[in-house]
Amino acid sequence: MLKQSSEALFLFFQEIDNCCNMKFLAKYGVDGFILSLIGAIILAYVYPQLGAVTLDKALGFATTYGVSITFFLYGLKLDTKQLLVGISNWKLHTLIQSSTFIFFPVLALLVKPWFDSMGQPVLWLAIFYLGALPSTVSSSVVMVSLSGGNVVSAIFNATLSSLLGIVLTPLWMSLFMGQVNSNFDLTDVLMKLVLQVIVPVIIGMSLNKFGGAWAQKNKVALKMVDQTVIILIVYQSFCDSFDHHIFATLPISNIIWLSVGMIVLFQVVYQLIKWCAHRLGFNEADTSTAIFCGSKKSLVHGTVMSKVLFGAGAEVGIYLLPIMIYHAGQLIGASYLASKRGEKMAQQSNH
């Protein structure tokens, strides 16, 4: 039974991936990975016991060690020499990191009373979790390049954000986790953080001079490893949530409003960074860099860190919901806005 279930799960994800290699979807930021995530949620909804009971131990083993593998590979690909290039532009770096780790959490705090009045503290904490996450690496750099921004500074800030997030995300979450989850143990979380995240990153970084070139050469294949771990975590989390009827407490209207809220959040942060960049006297290239690094949030970190912060609780599906919605929205919205800014800068340079 376990073998048949595993084969069915593998074939399902393979079919999703085969069906979604469509160029017209890629234009709008929708790729096979996003569709695979949607497919994983649908499968979890249709047959939650497959992941919550039948494959529970196997998935738990794979995702727990998958988190460590993901961060090890991140450290292996991290070239500290490249990280230090362009470090002098401190105003730009300060704005980007402030946006990532201050603007977002503060905006989330502003809506906390509204969610408390609705009796949805878990949903608010899920939004706050999104706000506490670091920026993306690859998509931030791609968007900055597309918009005509400063790619070197984008690489520096995206990498720095990921490193800071390993510490700052758990610290932000520790302020409120105990209010929602009485079983939250900061000591246990810190131990998992060290063993599953920090140690693998350090080991990976120490091996960069030996395996860094190989990692860069095979980054497409290694990205598939990251995405597979994310899909498995999302699938198991939503299986547990559906099996325990967690989403029964979350009306469909709340999910719709949450989706609208994620769009509004992106626009507010986008305009706020743009205003700050103007006040600081940034040129167009640095403004684009600040916008498309500071407004992004990492689904990779959000998913794998959920295993450390929330364990295997049935409510993990709700914690992942905002970041999944925001991730899809930021790919579509940022792709469009980056293209427009890039075209505008190209026209200005030609005159």
Residue 294's nearest CA partner among 164, 159, 108, 134 is: 134
What is the per-residue pLDDT across 14-40, written as a single tens digit (0 to 9) for each?
554 454 444 545 554 556 777 888 888
Q: Which residue has the tokens 């005509």?
A: 148
Q: Which residue has the higher pLDDT, 312 or 270?
A: 270
Mean per-residue pLDDT of the chain: 82
Neighbours of 141 (CB within 10 A): 21
Residue type, 244: H
Assigned token pair, 15? 């079919």
E strand or H helix that includes residue 332: helix 316-350
Residue 75's nearest CA partner among 183, 197, 184, 178 is: 197
pLDDT at 57 over 70: yes
pLDDT confidence of residue 22: 47
73 and 225 Cβ atoms separated by less than 8 Å: yes
Structural domains in the chain, sorted by start: 2-345 (1.20.1530.20)
What is the per-residue pLDDT across 176-198, written as a single tens digit (0 to 9) for each?
887 666 566 667 777 888 888 88
Assigned token pair, 35? 């569709």
Triad 187, 190, 193: Cα angle to 5°: 155
pLDDT confidence of residue 109: 96
What is the per-residue pLDDT across 58-89, written as a single tens digit (0 to 9) for each?
888 888 888 889 889 888 987 777 666 667 78
Percentage of residues of the chain with pLDDT beyond 70: 85
Dist CA 226 CA 67 (whole Å) = 9
pLDDT at 203 over 70: yes
pLDDT at 244 over 90: no
Widest pairwise Cα distance in the chain? 68
306 and 316 Cβ atoms separated by less than 8 Å: yes
* pLDDT-derived band at 308, boundaries 50, 70, 90: confident
What length is written for the chain? 351
What is this structure's pTM? 0.79
